[in-house]
Amino acid sequence: MKTAIRFLVLGAAAAAFHAYADSDIEFAPYVLPAAKMSCDDGQDPMGSRLFATTRLRTQIGLGGLWDFLPDPQDKGEAGRYYVNFPEPETSLWVPGSWNAEPRYSGYIGPAWMRRTFTLPRSGNLRLHFGGAFYRTKVWLDGEYLGAHEGGYTPFSFAVKNATAGPHTLVVRVDNTLDDRTLPKRGVDWFPYGGIDRAVYAELVPDVWIERFHIIPRRRSGGAAALEVRVFLRNLGAAARTETLTLAIDGRQVYSGTHAAPPGESTVTFETVLENPRLWSPANPSLYSARLVLGAESDDQLTRFGVRWIEIDGTRLLLNGRPFRIIGVNRHEDHPDWGSALPPHILRQDVAIIKRMGANAVRGHYPPNQMFLDYCDQVGLVFMNEIPAWQNTPAQLSDPVVQEKIRREFREMVLRDMNHPSVITWSLGNEWRNPDACYEPARVLAAYARTLDSTRPLTLITAGYAGRLQELFDVISTNWSRHEWYDPATHIDTEVAARTVRQLRRIHELFPQKPVILSEFGGAESQAGWHDWSAVKWSEEFQARNVADSGAWGLAQDWIAGGCVWQFADSRSSPERILAGRLHGWNAKGILDAYRRPKLAYYELLRLFRAHREERYASGLTASPAGN
Ligand code: ADA
């Protein structure tokens, strides 16, 4: 009663303040926990990672202002813009999304970008793009280097014997989506165009380390066998023999010679880590590894963690102890930056999530790699996924789409293998008519398992119970309370009861598999609009959805956790402007797009913290902060 009067007299925002001011919520100080590391690799001058990835290569950052010219009539290739770049319309900051600029806010189509740079000396040039959305073609000094399709994974080009002095780089990026792209046209997030992740050039020797993976496997007696997989490139015409030397935390653990045939090759060797420090959200312990080629002719650095993920019936085990996913779904989106979130926003997102008492994040696509570096460092697990979003059986049976799924999955695994935070791989989200997707799913799941056998494989569905789930280690399902997209204006408990029955059917069908509520709570709210009777679009309506579905999910012992839909409001695709959206935004964020909390955020804070304390009291969690 008292609360209701406050609502009427003081207005909704003030009431919300009062409702929480006297509550038992304690705000943790705004400090991120530090990773336990015994080695500091310094800063990455390219701004791409949280640590330097080389001590030997000469690197040239290609961020900054680039000439920009949209090409709505697609005349650029015929007009050879890569040789005769016309008068640019403006210059744009890279990494950046052109749709974050008011002038190009709605622009979908090809665009041309150009910049020059100077090589301090001649040598083999490796051009690295952390990501560009969605189709990219690259020319250096008028010469075509190649193309890449896919918006979320890195790609690179090599140029033998580039000369010292100035060079001109021209890039054509096209953010047009269709029925055969990943994601497909009309997906529920915005196809921000541009070079939206770090880009740089570096000088490499004739044989270099493209990347290396460290894959820990459990040995009896607590030791970890580390399989080291090295991806080499040899630009020469003859095979070479090279020495590889690995140091972990500054201590040499391996040295051996290996053949490096021309082109790309893979070398593997093994080493053992006795009594490894284990990584977990409570204890994010990281190792630093440096691999050197020859007598310091090339090197690469990475971080890795040792942690054991296992499945025990309906439970996930992390390092032998039950582990529940408590998290948020997050898009890489911000009104001022589009999809090109700068490091301080990535860091802020991680801090907000950690501070909520969450231990997990899920995304519809591989995020900026720096975000995963932060997850490794502060202790958040990440459910990694490729953007095969709501594809139809017809699309999934199309060999062209299947090949894109395979490529996207491979590129995700190649990039993210070393992140201890990555806890599951997902083949996609909410495929339509799941029974009819069985055959393509079977083939794709078999392929995915050849790339990594150390993490559970999953596919996100929308309450589906059926044989498709046989194919996956973990069942991930979204709580789809359909009333949101109906004309209903109030919460309908009958709909919720139906959803619960549907979810229980999954458990009945697969009583021995963990089920993750990959999305719960999805309801939109107009930030700042309150209504005491919890009418649709109000913060109260959303808060109730989030609290009810979250509390129900976390109370089921056969549910291995869940993630709220979603972390912050995000812009939806142009096709969705009428699909129950606020000005074309998906406003189901528990924070608004600028990360200002809505009521649902406080509800979730309470829920996550209560859950954590309860787990601690029952001995299932290592420490109150441990999750
Ligand atoms: C699904 C989908 C999300 C989002 C959500 C919504 O759960 O996985 O990407 O579109 O629906 O807001 O309707």
Lowest mean pLDDT among 66-70, 264-268, 501-505, 621-625: 621-625
To test the pocket of ligand 1, the residue of 187, 188, 536, 586 to mutate (highest count of ligand atoms within 8 Å of its CB) is: 188
> According to the 3-state scheme, what is the secondary structure of 432-449?
CCHHHHHHHHHHHHHHHH
CB 307 within 8 A of CB 280: yes
Is the pLDDT score of 13 beyond 70? no
Q: What is the mean pLDDT of residues 393-406?
A: 98
What are phi and psi for residue 98, nearest 5 degrees?
Answer: -65, -25
The Å distance, Cα 366 to ligand 1 centre, comes to 17
- Structure confidence at residue 91 as a pLDDT band (50, 70, 90): very high
> Position of tokens 């090599």?
158
- Structure confidence at residue 11 as a pLDDT band (50, 70, 90): very low
Closest CA to 282 of 324, 314, 316, 334: 324
CB 370 within 8 A of CB 346: yes
Distances in whole angstroms, Cα of residue 485 to Cα of each of 7, 87, 204, 258, 490? 28, 47, 54, 59, 12
To test the pocket of ligand 1, the residue of 190, 333, 391, 430 to mutate (highest count of ligand atoms within 8 Å of its CB) is: 430
385 touches ligand 1 (CB under 6 Å) = no
Is the pLDDT score of 510 beyond 50? yes
- Structure confidence at residue 21 as a pLDDT band (50, 70, 90): very low
458 alpha carbon, distance to own chain's centre: 15
The Å distance, Cα 188 to ligand 1 centre, comes to 7
Q: What is the mean pLDDT of residues 530-535?
A: 89
Atom number, ligand 1, closest to the C-alpha of residue 430:
8
| DSSP three-state, residue 256 | strand
The Å distance, Cα 553 to ligand 1 centre, comes to 18
CATH code reported for the domain at 64-197? 2.60.120.260
The Å distance, Cα 11 to ligand 1 centre, comes to 31
379 touches ligand 1 (CB under 6 Å) = no
pLDDT at residue 480, as a whole number: 72
Is the pLDDT score of 16 beyond 60? no
**Mean per-residue pLDDT over the chain, rounded:** 92
Instruction: Choose between 450 and 16: higher pLDDT.
Output: 450
The Å distance, Cα 94 to ligand 1 centre, comes to 29
Amino acid at 593: A
Look at the domain 324-384+441-446+457-617 and name its fold: TIM Barrel (3.20.20)
- Structure confidence at residue 37 as a pLDDT band (50, 70, 90): confident
Is the pLDDT score of 621 beyond 70? no
478 touches ligand 1 (CB under 6 Å) = yes
Closest CA to 199 of 132, 130, 148: 130
Distance CA(342)–CA(189), nearest Å, equals 19
pLDDT at residue 620, as a whole number: 54
CB 63 within 8 A of CB 47: yes
The Å distance, Cα 168 to ligand 1 centre, comes to 42
573 touches ligand 1 (CB under 6 Å) = no
Is the pLDDT score of 626 beyond 60? no
Tell the residue nearest (CA) to atom 4 of ligand 1: 188
pLDDT at residue 496, as a whole number: 84
566 touches ligand 1 (CB under 6 Å) = no
To test the pocket of ligand 1, the residue of 385, 519, 567 to mutate (highest count of ligand atoms within 8 Å of its CB) is: 519
- Structure confidence at residue 615 as a pLDDT band (50, 70, 90): low
Atom number, ligand 1, closest to the C-alpha of residue 485:
13
Tell the residue nearest (CA) to atom 10 of ligand 1: 188
Atom number, ligand 1, closest to the C-alpha of residue 429:
8
Query: What percentage of residues in the chain have a pLDDT greater than 90?
Result: 83
Atom number, ligand 1, closest to the C-alpha of residue 462:
7
Is the pLDDT score of 17 beyond 50? no
CB 546 within 8 A of CB 590: yes
CB 158 within 8 A of CB 235: yes
CB 472 within 8 A of CB 457: yes
The Å distance, Cα 99 to ligand 1 centre, comes to 22
- Tokens coding 134: 């969605």
24-34 pLDDT tens trace: 445 555 567 77
291-339 pLDDT tens trace: 999 999 999 999 999 999 999 999 999 999 999 999 999 999 999 999 9
Tell the residue nearest (CA) to atom 3 of ligand 1: 188
pLDDT at residue 483, as a whole number: 66
The pTM of the full predicted model, rounded to 2 decimals, is 0.94
E strands of 190-277, at which residues?
Answer: 199-204, 207-218, 224-234, 240-248, 251-260, 263-273
What are phi and psi for residue 343, nearest 5 degrees?
Answer: -50, -40
Distance CA(197)–CA(191), nearest Å, equals 14
Sign of CA dihedral 194, 390, 410, 565: positive
Residue spans per domain, the chain: 1-30, 64-197, 324-384+441-446+457-617
The Å distance, Cα 3 to ligand 1 centre, comes to 33
Q: What is the mean pLDDT of residues 86-103?
A: 98
- Structure confidence at residue 532 as a pLDDT band (50, 70, 90): confident
Domains 64-197 and 324-384+441-446+457-617 share a fold: no
Distance CA(406)–CA(401), nearest Å, equals 9
- Structure confidence at residue 624 as a pLDDT band (50, 70, 90): very low
183-215 pLDDT tens trace: 999 999 999 999 999 999 999 999 999 999 999
Distance CA(52)–CA(50), nearest Å, equals 7
438-490 pLDDT tens trace: 999 999 999 999 999 999 999 999 999 999 999 999 999 998 766 677 777 77
522 touches ligand 1 (CB under 6 Å) = yes
588 touches ligand 1 (CB under 6 Å) = yes
Residues 6+ apart with CB under 8 A from 101: 92
Query: What percentage of residues in the chain have a pLDDT greater than 70?
Result: 92
pLDDT at residue 39, as a whole number: 79
pLDDT at residue 533, as a whole number: 87
pLDDT at residue 7, as a whole number: 32
Atom number, ligand 1, closest to the C-alpha of residue 524:
12
548 touches ligand 1 (CB under 6 Å) = no
Q: What is the mean pLDDT of residues 542-566?
A: 95
